[in-house]
């Protein structure tokens, strides 16, 4: 996820989601992911203190700032590059597994935030634009809950 000053997603030249300050979440789903992972991830993201307070210290959460969110499905996050020069996406979940979890994550995030979340289009060729604020970019792996 990236803390952004603004972000947008376009499909076929049309902007389908646009936000000001908040988070752009690039969500990669693998076969081993479950509803439990989705619920944990939503709670973690909404409560993670990565927004500045009055003293410019990262001490506020998305809930505190009432920031906006865009969620974009991105299977390439699971690229394995150990062998050769062509990435392997063997760990990425197939659409029949990924789409329901992607949709459940969006629903859970909307419930936790109490507001609508912008999205991309699963499987579409999307153009994502953003101004990373900080820059702050954080990777969270639900299989490594540290």
The 3-state DSSP class for residue 36 equals: helix
- Give how far the C-alpha of residue 59 lies from the chain's centroid of Cα atoms, to the nearest Å: 20
CB atoms within 10 A of CB 56: 7
Helix (H) or strand (E) holding 66: none
Can 142 be counted among the known catalytic residues?
A: no
Instruction: Enter the DSSP assignment of 82.
Output: S
Read off the DSSP letter of residue 120. Answer: -
Residue 105 CB neighbour total at 10 angstroms: 25
Per the residue annotation, which of 46, 65, 76, 119 is the catalytic one?
76
Active site residues: 76
């Amino acid at each position: 996820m990236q803390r952004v000053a603004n972000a947008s997603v376009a499909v076929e030249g049309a902007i389908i989601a646009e936000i000001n300050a908040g988070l752009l979440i690039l969500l990669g789903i693998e076969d081993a992911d479950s509803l439990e992972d989705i619920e944990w991830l939503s709670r973690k993201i909404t409560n993670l203190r990565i927004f500045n307070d009055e003293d410019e210290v990262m001490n506020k959460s998305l809930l505190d700032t009432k920031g906006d969110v865009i969620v974009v499905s991105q299977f390439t996050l699971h690229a394995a590059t150990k062998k050769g020069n062509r990435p392997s996406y063997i760990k990425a979940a197939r659409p029949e597994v990924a789409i329901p979890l992607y949709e459940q994550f969006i629903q859970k995030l909307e419930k936790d935030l109490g507001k609508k979340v912008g999205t991309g289009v699963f499987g579409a060729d999307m153009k994502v634009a953003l101004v990373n604020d900080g820059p702050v970019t954080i990777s969270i792996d639900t299989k490594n809950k540290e």
